[in-house]
Chains A and B, each alone.
Chain A
Amino acid sequence: MIRALRSDYFCLAESKRACGLVTSRAPASRGALWAFGFCHLLLMNTSDSEEDSYNERSALVQSESPTIPSYNQDHDMSLPQETDTKRRRTVSSGLVEPGPVEREQASTPDGEEEELTLKYGAKHVIMLFIPVTLCMVVVVATIKSVSFYTEKSSQRLIYTPFEEDPNSVGQRLLYSLLNTIVMISVIVFMTIILVVLYKYRCYKFIHGWLILSSLMLLFWFSFMYLGEVFKTYNVAMDYPTLVMIIWNFGVVGMICIHWKGPLRLQQAYLIVISALMALIFIKYLPEWSAWVILGAISIYDLIAVLCPKGPLRMLVETAQERNEPIFPALIYSSAMVWMVGMADSSNPDSTDERRRNEGGARAQEGVESEDDAAQGGRRRYSAEEELEEDRGVKLGLGDFIFYSVLVGKAAATGGDWNTTLACFVAILIGLCLTLLLLAIFKKALPALPISITFGLVFYFSTDNLVRPFMDSLAAHQYYI
């Protein structure tokens, strides 16, 4: 069934995936096929829109947010009335607004706030460096060892319908541009649908969509991945064991991501699914299209977040007005909040819109006992510790995915490790700069453009300029 679904929906011819893992199946029903396909579509969109929305949200303070008192103007006024929610909201806006500290000292000079910004900024940058690095390491390790993901097949995603002809440069360029236009239009269209659904409060639909997408990632893509790894290392594996492994992996993943689970496990699962998604992109996007798509998506991100009428911005503003969290399942969060004590839905969820402590989702799913215990426990902490606990960061999974696609493609083409390393450093520096700009401008900024730009610049220049230079130096053993 899976095989038939794949071959129909993805318009793929089943490749030389011999033996082993695929057995004959009954033909797929049309309904199942559409459900599966829709899942895939949703998934593609979701990752991006999540990324987009989370870029918006993963940015720092939105200065036009109606619910957050602007730090500079209102904090004096809002201090006396600050309830727990407000405090948490301001606190959790991450790098810029240290709420509790502000409460501790009645009049906090801007300087201290900024210093806290920078001190906590460094910690948050590292809290993001580590998962991004891990995701890239997983992708690069897979690319370098499992040849499946670098084999070019005639199969393509339906989002990139034009096949690139390696012989003609002009045609290749044209087709990659067309592919990019198709892909970006699909993404924009899906984001608009999402916004419309959200506006008309079709929450069940959205949640179902998300669950279907993560189901597909956790079961189908990991099954494929595991199959390829076994093939590479020539490991003999029987179906019952495989089913057990995939079943356990998938179910625990669904629980951790959509419900409750240990923080580290949830983070690990999110990293793994981002890596899997990135590997799929690397495999199925044609060569030049991938690069153009990377560039185009960062431009789209920039436009969608900074333009007043962007779908992202509307989504975020709607969520703010309603005080609801958005899509808790597809953000990477680095710290747990047990202090989001409000069990009702009027939780500060503009919490979900920026870098802050999550838990929002978990709290909302009714972690009552945890909240009570947390409430009690929280009061015993010093403000300092609360501040520490509060300041987790969040980053959208789409960011992870596209960073890993860039580094993975750098690793896949050419086999030169210098290029991969250069792209890796460039992306990390881009992330660092993005956070710095956020701290300076105090405005919502997208996370993709700077990193992807640096990554692309470094990829092309290292591949074409530095590589011959370093190769010549190594040949003569000259050292610079």
Chain B
Amino acid sequence: MVERSDIRVVRCGGSKVNLRPPIISTDSRFVLCASGDLVKVYSTRTEEWLHSLQGHTNQVTGIALNPANHLQVYSCSADGTVKLWDFIDGILIKTFIIGYPLFAIYVSEKHEGVLFLHVSMATDSKNECFQLVAVHPPKSAEQEVEAKEMSVVSSHISSNPSCTAFGRGGEYIAFARRLQLNVYFFRKQKTCSFSLKATDKKGAKNAFTCIACHPTDDCIATGHEDGKIRLWRNFIHKKEYTYSTQHWHHNAVNTLCFTPEGTHLLSGGIESVLVQWQYGAGNRKEFLPRLGGSILHISASSDGQLFCTSHSDNSKSLSFKCLFLPMLFMLSGDAVLTDLMIDPRSIALVLNGKPGHLQFYSLLRDKHLYNLDIVQQEYIYEAGLDQFEVVKAAFDIKGSWLATVEERGQKSSDLEFFLKLWAFDERTQSFVLNTTITAAHTDRIISMCFSSSEETTMLVTTAEDGQFKAWCQGADADTQQDQNFWSCDFVGSYHNLKPTNCSFSADSSLLAVSFQEVITIWSPETWEMLTTLCQPPGVIRDLCFGRLSCSKYLLGTTTRNLLCCWNLLTCALEWSSSVEVSKLQPDPLSENVAAFSYQSKHTDLFVFKPSEPRPLFTNKNVCSEKVHRAVFVPREEPLNNCDESSQWLNRSQLYFLTQNMDLLTFSTATEEDRMLSSSKQLVIDDSVAVTPFYLLLGKHRQQQQKLNTQSHPAADKPQQPQGSVTIKELLHTPAHVLPAASVLCSMFVNSLLISNTGVQEEMDSEKEEEDSEEEMEACDSQQELRVQGSVDEVTLKLSKAQERELKRVRKTDFSWMAGLIDSKP
């Protein structure tokens, strides 16, 4: 039966996790953060992604723990709903439909059953007028509840959710907007407002950027645009308020957070230094520098042991007092300058990571693997500073070489760039710098690619100075050194035109370099120009060779909406079609080529074979943004879809990155089924932390596995798995369902015993008594001995037939019993 497989676009991470502050569960075991339209749950100990809370249809804009039940979490979304989840099991408990797009959620222990939400003013959302409303969700047993009961708390709040905070267990709420700080007291139903001057004498910028309230004291800490932190006190009386100023940050304070006990205040800004101010001790402070990107949010766990910071480079880190656990979650950086690439060794997606780094991101496990430091320079966190960034990267076909280009001075006139070549080191399992080329070209490098042949690796770079260069590993006979460095092998140009793109054919016998409107074909062996191809109007934008059976075709796209296919045997245009193609991506494992076209504000995808003019698959309106980066990722095990439209996804999967930095992919129905079945298992089981109990059982399990792998006598082979199954059952069944321990005990002990069923089969039915006794051996071996003795006595007066019987019994192996007796102390 042919399975009907429906292909749909799936968002597969990549979205930001730094939009809203993460929260740490009360037992400090989980970190929850809003990411796209999901809420992701991470374990703090293993730093692994556990599961996601799926259900919102738009960006999740806020999450807050339910103060009434610490195992539940509220999440609000721009789709106008608030959802209540059990985050450990990932179960949706309730949905409250508010009806307006929500921008943040706050809860307070004092106001149980009340949700405070940021709502955009319904009338004109462009003015950025936000209201803080209190919602009393109605109590009902239904899954979906409409909550229409709203009361406005304040209508002058900032769009930034970190400018609102509850103070002193919910007695008052403080919110700041531009230069005004308002405090609303719930008991008095009164608002006090304090304002600062726009600038003071020294040109300080006083606008509020964030706010935090002391958990027990009447104190509000506010952060300002110029890096000052003000601590407000005595604000209950409108006239007699005081504030003290502390200044360390040299740029805006992004976030402030009090520890749960209120002993410390944490602040963070663009400098990427977590500053810990001692509360009430003036200027005493501690620093935790170089955490990653600039700090956007800080949250503290309820026991004050863990802090979670989220950074502008979309990473998260956990800090534990002085000890530091780097914990990098998902990411795609804010600006992906390199192409999407696949590391052929680890099948990891490679793109820009931390500033000056390349990140390796495993798509299968949705886990960040590691960052490779490319620039190898101290990163200075300062606004407006021109820094080195990795702009190009390429892998060779085996993944043993990586070429990167880093660039600085895009804005100013003097451009600095380095071409670096990295060799894969088997011993350390990472890339090691082999060659740095300081002046590879006289102008910016536009594109580069490795030759795809197995024997010799060659890199070709094209640059704006009108040249393309071929780089080879210097096989110099004179310099008999261990390491081989890369050097320039050939410099080519064509009528001083600016090259745009280069590509090697599948067997790397041909190199195609496009110069404006002309494509030149070169032979890399002799560096002879073989032919030129030209399709006049429009500059060539993308270039790729066909693979496998279509290797005689060369595909190119031009800026004038033309997709051309040349036949290299006849050197003539095979076909062309008028499509505005923004990205052309060949599949390395098949003949298929994917083309993303951007027309009338939405992106279409065409998958085709160069030999056939009819596309294999078309998907209109994949997304609304332009797609500039895409990559085919080989699957671990090929799917076997028979359906024609989804066959192209059998061997590799297509990932693409939109302009909003969302990583999307296509999934088929069969794949989803498989995913579902696997997710039915208890997810948390695998990834919870290593406890003593786990160690004990884990060790046991490992031993069993070891035993299983060894070649044992056939007798006790089937017994082993049975034992492990019993243990598994024991562990997986909830405790209240299990029978009494006494019942379980014998079963458990039995499962651990090595029984001799093989021997038993030989014995006669007469020995049934003995068999029954054998079962008891484990409990009492003394008895066992006595039983044997009695058997011997009886045999003295036995007949011949019985004697023969006895001989047989004697012959049977009882050595296992000796072991048993020895083991007794």
Do A and B form a real pair? no
Which of A's residues lie within 8 Å of B, judged by CB?
Answer: none
Which of B's residues lie within 8 Å of A, judged by CB?
Answer: none
